[in-house]
């Protein structure tokens, strides 16, 4: 079993829809949770970064962490064609030393005009 599971999709929704992307994990030591967006043939860019449980909002994006269920989500409101990309969740435990991120497989998202 992988430490982080993410449905690879593809996921296709109409413009303006609310998108929900999710990851589950098995390591209860994970404390830091991130979402990256990756356009085709580009490097990932950091979208959201949260610590422990709760919600964090940034514009049209909301990141949600439920540590009791070992489940994290990214919601995109008023989705736009420019949101079409692969979305990767990543997480790490509270550790000393370099941060070793564990990534999900990524979900390929397409927003149709």
Positions touching other proteins (CB under 8 A) are: 4, 6, 8, 31-32, 34, 36, 41-46, 49, 51, 88, 90, 92, 94-101, 103-106
Shortest approach of other proteins to residue 17 CB, angstroms? 25
The token pair at 1 is 């079993």
Determine the Cα–Cα distance for residues 34 and 74; give it in Å rounded to an integer: 10
Shortest approach of other proteins to residue 82 CB, angstroms? 18
Shortest approach of other proteins to residue 43 CB, angstroms? 4
Closest CB to other proteins among residues 3, 57: 3
Determine the Cα–Cα distance for residues 82 and 99; give it in Å rounded to an integer: 30
The neighbouring-strand residues paired with 107 are 87
Shortest approach of other proteins to residue 51 CB, angstroms? 8
Closest CB to other proteins among residues 35, 64: 35
Closest CB to other proteins among residues 51, 71: 51
């Amino acid at each position: 079993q992988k430490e982080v599971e993410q449905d690879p999709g593809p996921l296709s929704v109409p413009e303006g829809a609310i998108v929900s992307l999710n990851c589950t994990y098995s390591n209860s030591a994970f404390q830091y949770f991130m979402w990256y967006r990756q356009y085709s043939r580009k490097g990932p860019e950091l979208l959201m970064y949260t610590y422990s449980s709760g919600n964090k909002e940034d514009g049209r994006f909301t990141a949600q962490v439920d540590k009791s269920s070992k489940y994290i989500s990214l919601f995109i409101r008023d989705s736009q064609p420019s949101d079409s990309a692969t979305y990767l969740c990543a997480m790490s435990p509270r550790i000393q030393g370099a941060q070793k991120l564990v990534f999900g497989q990524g979900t390929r998202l397409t927003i149709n005009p």
